[in-house]
Chains A and B, each alone.
Chain A
Amino acid sequence: MSILEYNGAAMIAMAGDECIAIAADRRLGVQYQTVSCEFQKLFQINDKTFVGLAGLATDVQTVAQTLKFRNDLYELREDRKMTPKVFSSQLSALLYEKRFGPFFVEPIVAGLDASNKPYLSGMDLIGAPCFPDDYVVSGTCTANLHGMCETLYRPGLGPDELFETISQALLAGVDRDALSGWGAIVHVITKDGVTTRELKGRMD
């Protein structure tokens, strides 16, 4: 089993009409044994930026702590919040620094920029980014998630419709993957704030 599949993960971020949604499963496993259904993989950086970290759990936690530190330092020095674009660049640089001994995480970044326009990025474990307009996925069932997102996604969805779309895509995607699932959480970010909901899915 590849090291990126040791713990299991599935996540999606989607762009809507002046809103974004980011969703992830909650399983922490040790190969095929499930240890917990409450493992956190989505991290809020500031009001308008979220990062999802899929991959080896220890590196998810180490990278999340490092990103929080870097963000806090940025805010102290610059006296302003990091935009999602800057955050994504910082994360990419952080990962490439470890080019020959990488963090085994494949992150997705989702946020709203200064004019509340959605921003998405996804990168591999050494920080190679892409910046799609519609959705990004990561985890152990990316093929499933791509199929679901490609089918269900439409541009310009409002927060409630976006929530429904991303939830259905995630739940259907993880149900065909043994290593992900066991609970799911969705954050929807608009200019007015963040709404967090937990999904009731199959616990197997």
Chain B
Amino acid sequence: MDSVLAIRYKDGCVIAADQTNARSVLAYQHNLDKVTELGKHTAMGVSGPNADMVNFSEYISKNMALYEAMNHGSKLSVNAQAHYVRSVLAEALRKGPYQVNLMLGGYDEKTKEANLYFLDYLASMQKVNFGCQGYAGAFCLSIMDREWKEDMTKEEALDVIDHCIGELGKRFVIAQPNFIVKVVDKDGVTVSKFGADPNDN
């Protein structure tokens, strides 16, 4: 029931996810942060059962940090990070799959390019300009198809995300009161806005 939305614009990516943590008919919390930061210039919006989501995200982000520590601070490109995530998912697939679907987006300093990847729980990976995970796709992919264009600005991308979130609020039967929106660009990962503060416990 999670929604993850992501759009690639000229100089970065916008990744948004709903903040609801629920199982069956019970909502545990409405301020969960489902967009994990991987290093300074990449983030991934993850959907799925909370156990797998947290375990997987932490495993990936810690391994990224380990790589940097072991390799004298050299960073992996977004492409390399996405391939790494795919390899972890693919290996686990026939042993004990991670039931996580994600959108991984980042900004490459070297090539000055933004890159966004769609990865599903089966470890299928595809580089895309925009994408959604979950039921959100049924409502939002067509909006993104219509409104995405090459060399968008950050403001335009955020507008499209707002349009998508609005559509979900209006037409998606499951109420998702809060969304967290993060922007990944040359300045790193910043929280553009959230419905409820994830740190407010």
A36 to chain B: which residues have CB within 8 Å? 118, 126, 128
For residue B195, CB closer than 8 A to chain A, the reply is no
- Interface positions, chain B 124-155, Cβ under 8 Å from A, are 124-128, 131, 137-138, 141
Q: How many A-B residue pairs have CB under 8 A?
A: 38
Give A101 to B124 CA distance when docked, in angstroms: 18
Q: Does B30 make an interface contact (CB < 8 A)?
A: no
| CB pair A35 B126 closer than 8 Å | yes
User: Would you call B123 an interface residue if the criterion is a C-beta within 8 Å of the partner chain's C-beta atoms?
Assistant: yes
Q: Are A7 and B124 within 8 A (Cβ)?
A: yes
B175 at the interface (CB under 8 A from A): no
- Evaluate contact between B118 and A35: CB separation under 8 angstroms: yes
Q: In the complex, which of the residues B118, B122, B128 contacts A58, with contact meaning CB atoms closer than 8 Å?
A: B122
Determine the chain A residues whose CB is within 8 A of the CB of B127 once the complex forms: 38
Q: How near does chain B come to A1, taking the closest CB pair, in angstroms? A: 14
Q: Which stretch from B51-59, B68-76, B86-94 is at the chain A interface?
A: B86-94
Interface of chain B residues 85 through 111 with chain A (CB within 8 A): 86, 89-90, 93-94
**Nearest Cβ on chain A to B181's Cβ, whole angstroms:** 22
Q: Is the CB of B137 within 8 A of A33?
A: yes
Tier of interface size on chain B:
10 to 19
Whether B128 pairs with A61 at a CB distance below 8 angstroms is no
Beyond A33-B137, A33-B138, whether A58 also contacts B126 by CB under 8 A is: no
B120 within 8 A of A: yes
**A38-B126 Cα distance, complex, nearest whole Å:** 8
Q: A130 within 8 Å of B by Cβ?
A: no
B141: chain A residues within 8 A (beta carbon) = 33
Q: How many chain-A residues does the 8 Å CB contact rule pick out? A: 15
- Is A143's beta carbon under 8 Å from chain B? no
Given A28-B126, A35-B128, are A58 and B93 also a contact pair (CB < 8 Å)? Answer: yes
Scan A7-26; emit 1 where CB is below 8 A from any B CB, else 0: 10000000000000000000
| Chain A residue nearest to B118 in the complex (CB) | A35
Task: State in angstroms the CA–CA spacing of A16 and B146 once bound together.
Answer: 42
A30 CA to B120 CA, complexed, in Å? 9
Q: Which residues of B contact A141 (CB under 8 A)?
A: none
A57, CB-defined interface residue at 8 Å: yes
Residues of B near A39 (CB, < 8 A) are: 126
Given A33-B137, A33-B141, A61:B86 Cβ within 8 A: yes
- Residue of A33, A57, A101 touching B122 (CB-CB under 8 A): A57
Q: Which A residue's beta carbon lies closest to that of B128? A: A36
- CA–CA, A62 and B141, complex, Å: 27
A33-B138, A33-B141, A35-B118 known; A28 vs B94 contact (CB < 8 Å): no
Q: B137 contacts A57, CB within 8 Å? A: no
User: Nearest-CB distance from A163 to chain B (Å)?
Assistant: 27
A99–chain B nearest beta-carbon distance, Å: 14
The residue of chain A having its C-beta at the shortest distance from the C-beta of B145 within the complex is: A34
- The interface of chain B, by Cβ under 8 A from chain A, is 86, 89-90, 93-94, 118, 120, 122-128, 131, 137-138, 141
Q: What are 17 A-to-B residue pairs whose CB atoms are below 8 Å?
A: A6-B122, A7-B124, A28-B126, A30-B120, A33-B137, A33-B141, A35-B126, A36-B128, A38-B127, A56-B122, A57-B124, A58-B89, A58-B90, A58-B122, A58-B123, A58-B124, A61-B123
- Of all A-B residue pairs in the complex, the 5 with the closest CB atoms, nearest first, are A57-B124, A58-B123, A58-B122, A36-B126, A58-B124
Known: A30-B120, A57-B122. 15 other contacts (CB 8 A): A6-B122, A28-B124, A35-B118, A35-B128, A36-B128, A39-B126, A56-B122, A56-B124, A57-B124, A57-B126, A58-B93, A58-B122, A58-B124, A61-B86, A62-B90
